[in-house]
A and B are shown apart, each in its own frame.
Chain A
């Protein structure tokens, strides 16, 4: 049996809030296979964001182990975590987090700046990713010249450019209207169909319906792990 892509064993996370210790995660175990489309659900304070930070190697667990593609990331230092984020994980944020006054192409190139990819391959790779998200004709546009949906698609292209093991999307439709949100979900559906592992963090049940599996968090614990027999399929509107 192949090892799962992500394996979390009894992960705990504690934050010191003044005198008090707050347990954001109280011992979570889960595993995610290569190629899955998983939604992490929960209200605010449920621990879902903490879980995402740990999965994204943005933070380390206080206790327990997390292994990513067979590598135990709980023991790595900041630079090693940065390298994992760079090569294995593609992030998509609610607020897009694009660099202002920087072209879509250069925004997509950003992760390459911190990778070993030779510079002469950058434009080619970034162009390919932008074409994949349907922005092949807007590569020179700055974020301010793009709509919200287009900005998020640039962010998705940026997440793809280093060919990561998984895409970690934190409320990717949170700042978009319903229709553009559907477009973005359709794009995730396409990426999943191509075999990408996608982890979606959301508090909206209707967004979670697109995933094939839903992990529900409450009060720092994993309370439900359900397979979605008939996930919704979003249709991309004609752009």
Chain B
């Protein structure tokens, strides 16, 4: 039999009842678009998480001081970790790539008649290594600048834009709080972090500069820092490294065996990944609910096909009289059902693309990442629904007796 003619016949038959065909398709349209959108939203969330983890610089820990507890009771005394802890972690814990001490503050930065309030971080060059952050323009700090606490700065892209516009900031002098610094480098753009904060809205100074000029020196712990960022080599066992760091710091701080850690270690990638997993479970659930609506749509198709077979009994009788075999009739109605579902699936895909496009570009609805595999899968699935739910009505049509069908009123 001629497949093309069968398809043409099917389309003609469906066009006769265009409104009914469309309403029947609606179930499939909604089902397919919902499945694709749900999966796209899940994939979009996953991609966002992946990007966040990547922008943090891979496998990163935060290590910061906490309250010292004595005999189960916490005291108000905050333990400050310091630069030496960073050095120790980097040298003694296997698998650690770099440990970068941080002193952070914020304040106003002024250049010319422009001012901008931003994060001011004191670091040494290891910080760039930990966070996989490249210098786009200029250079890192020299060892001499770090040791002497020189008045030099490396600025983030946002600060660059806000204060310097398109002009080259390298070698320019800007004012940080109450002292002048010379810009020696500009960082590559990094985007938002896990909490949606702009990571490029920052300037970096040598850690000693920040300590001397902004935060002040803690006389009991002169090398204290706000936190240490630790990066591990790819593929290392993060839990093992965390345990090693904990042991090392407890020993160094002489913490009794029964006391709590006077510091906190956070595995950032893991935190984000856990949150992502929860989101993923939720999205999978929604996708399943959506595929249930696909099945419901399929039942609608079956219903209408049964009505259609009854309505067209005389046509079936005629076709049989002029030589259609039961197989021919079966095929005709099956193809009609497949065309119905296929068209519904196609429209569903278009709607899903439109929805995700609007979400991604105009913030209407939710954005996401459409997986072409999922598109083909749901198109194939809707055609399968056409076969599955169209088979029974088509079989019923093919089993009609020609004389009964011809005589049907």
Residues of A within 8 A of B (CB): 53, 56, 58-59, 78-79, 82-83, 85-87, 91, 93, 97, 99-102, 110-111, 113-115, 119, 158, 162
Contacts and interface: CB of A to CB of B under 8 A. Distances in A.
B332 to A, nearest CB: 10
Contacts of A102: 12
A79 B323 contact: no
B378 to A, nearest CB: 33
Chain B contact surface mostly: helix
A119 B5 CA distance: 10
A113 B5 contact: yes
A82 B318 contact: no
A82 B319 CA distance: 10
Contacts of B328: 82, 114
12 contacts: A53-B403, A58-B402, A82-B325, A82-B328, A87-B323, A93-B318, A93-B406, A97-B321, A110-B318, A110-B322, A114-B319, A119-B2
B305 to A, nearest CB: 19
A114 B326 contact: no
Interface of B: 1-2, 5, 12, 16, 314-315, 317-328, 401-403, 406
Given A83-B325, A86-B322, 7 more contacts: A59-B401, A79-B325, A82-B320, A85-B320, A85-B323, A110-B318, A114-B319
A147 to B, nearest CB: 20
Contacts of A78: 325-326
Contacts of B322: 85-86, 91, 110-111, 114, 158
A58 B326 contact: no
A93 B319 CA distance: 13
Given A58-B402, A78-B326, A79-B326, A101 B12 contact: yes
A115 B16 contact: no
A85 B326 contact: no
A12 to B, nearest CB: 17
Contact of B321 (A83, A91, A99, A115): A91
Contacts, number: 66
Contact of A114 (B12, B325, B402): B325
B327 A99 contact: no
Given A101-B16, A102-B12, A113-B2, A86 B323 contact: yes
B314 A97 contact: yes
A119 B6 CA distance: 13
A99 B318 contact: yes
Contacts of B314: 97
A87 B322 CA distance: 9
A110 B324 CA distance: 9
Given A101-B12, A101-B16, A82 B403 contact: no
A82 B400 CA distance: 13
Q: Which among B321, B323, B327, B403 has the greatest number of chain A C-beta atoms within 10 A?
A: B323
A93 B324 CA distance: 17
Q: Which among A82, A100, A110 has the greatest number of chain B C-beta atoms within 10 A?
A: A82
Contacts of B406: 58, 93, 97
B101 to A, nearest CB: 81
Contacts of A93: 318, 406
B323 A115 contact: yes
A101 B318 CA distance: 15
A86 B321 CA distance: 8
Contacts of A58: 320-321, 402-403, 406
A58 B407 CA distance: 12
Contacts of A56: 321
B323 A111 contact: yes
Which 8 pairs from chain A and chain B are nearest by CB? A86-B323, A114-B323, A111-B322, A79-B325, A82-B325, A97-B318, A58-B402, A58-B403
Contacts of B325: 78-79, 82-83, 114
A66 to B, nearest CB: 15
Contacts of A91: 321-322
A113 to B, nearest CB: 6
Nearest to B8: A106
A119 B327 CA distance: 20
A101 B403 CA distance: 24
Given A53-B403, A97-B314, A99-B315, A82 B16 contact: no
Contacts of A87: 323
Contacts of A53: 403
A57 to B, nearest CB: 9
Contacts of B2: 113, 119
A154 B314 CA distance: 17
A130 to B, nearest CB: 16
Contacts of A99: 315, 318
Nearest to B327: A79
B315 A82 contact: no
Contacts of A86: 322-323
B15 to A, nearest CB: 9
B399 to A, nearest CB: 9
B324 A82 contact: yes
